Amino acid sequence: MSSGGEPLVAARVDASIGEVGLNNGPLNLVTRDLLHAFNAVLTELAGREDVRCVIVHGGQGRAFCAGSDIKEFAGLRSNASERKILFEDMVLRQLASLPMPTIAAIDAPAFGGGLELALACDLRVCRPDVVLGLTESRLGGLAGNGSVRLARLIGPSRAKELLFTGETVTGEQAIAWGLVNRLARGGSALQAARELAATIVARGPLSNRLAKKLVDSALDMPLDAALSQSTVAQQQIFESDDLHEGVDAFFAKRPPKFSGK
């Protein structure tokens, strides 16, 4: 629970969109308690067929997430993997492996572990003036999980520049580099993420889940193995009720009513 007695992570589902808001003080620091609360929410969402998109946001904080609470670093040396690293990485993997599309709505700074959290989402939406960075090297630290995800997203050269210098970029630079997908120029990133999520949930949910799986496989598997997986996925689509509902709706000139089956 937060210092105000409220949950450290607030979750709700509305119209097939799940929203997960961090609620750990003004900076939304990553603590052991926050990670446990976040992991519990992710576990619940992972099994829900009715949730077709998930948005992660920083709630009312002054930061989307300003990274790890360095007060917890005291005494962490040879036991760091056991007490921090492995569980934190597991939570980020759990976020990345949610079966439905995920969006990070970044209305305030995202530093260190906060940006790592956003990088574990499928898509990122932020305001043009928001500042982002993997700033761990300023403290002699390392963004382990984030180093890998950032390199895959924006390429090794730019990733190394951000990691080596600990410098930050604004949303404007982030979109030019492909670090974020969309900029919220006329309002909040959360509202823009909700609009994007509404578009996503209007599409075939089975199609989106399989598309996510195939895109991730494109990065992780040899080409032939990934293409074989795509053949299996396409067969699943043709056997689904959703595809035939979509075709019927097209000819009837009405919105489709997808069931996810």
Strands 17-22, 9-14: pairing is antiparallel
Residues 117-143: tens digit of each pLDDT? 999 999 999 999 999 999 999 999 889
Tokens 């580099």 correspond to: 177
Mapping DSSP to helix (H, G, I), strand (E, B) and coil, where does residue 129 land? coil
67 vs 63: which has the higher pLDDT: 63
Position 4 scores a pLDDT of 59
Q: Are the CB atoms for 54 and 18 separated by under 8 Å?
A: yes
Tokens 């939570």 correspond to: 91
* pLDDT exceeds cutoff 60 at 2: no
Burial 69-101 (b: 16+ CB within 10 A, else e): beeeeeeeeeeeeeebeeebeebbebbbebbbb
Domains along the chain with CATH numbers: 9-201 (3.90.226.10), 205-252 (1.10.12)
Q: How long a stretch of residues is the chain? A: 261
Query: Which helix or strand (DSSP H or E) is residue 124 part of?
Result: strand 123-126
What is residue 256's DSSP assignment? -
In the structure, what pLDDT confidence band is assigned to residue 75 with cuts at 50, 70 and 90? confident
Position 1 scores a pLDDT of 56
Q: Are the CB atoms for 48 and 27 separated by under 8 Å?
A: no
Structural tokens at position 37: 């609360």
Q: Are the CB atoms for 7 and 42 separated by under 8 Å?
A: no
Residues 9-58: tens digit of each pLDDT? 999 999 999 999 999 999 999 999 999 999 999 999 999 999 999 999 99
Which of 64, 196, 197, 188 shows the shortest CA–CA distance to 128? Answer: 188
Q: Average pLDDT for residues 205-218, to the nearest whole number?
A: 94
Q: Are the CB atoms for 166 and 134 separated by under 8 Å?
A: yes
Catalytic residues: 116, 136
Which of 121, 125, 104, 98 shows the shortest CA–CA distance to 42? Answer: 98
Three-state secondary structure of 62-107 = CCCECCECHHHHCCCCCCHHHHHHHHHHHHHHHHHCCCCCEEEEEC
Q: ∠130-132-133 over CA atoms, to 5°? A: 160
**Sheet holding 110-111: strands in order across?**
110-111, 131-133, 169-170
Average pLDDT, the chain: 93
Position 83 scores a pLDDT of 79
Tokens 């005494």 correspond to: 75
Contacts (Cβ under 8 Å, ≥6 apart) of 237? 206, 207, 210, 243
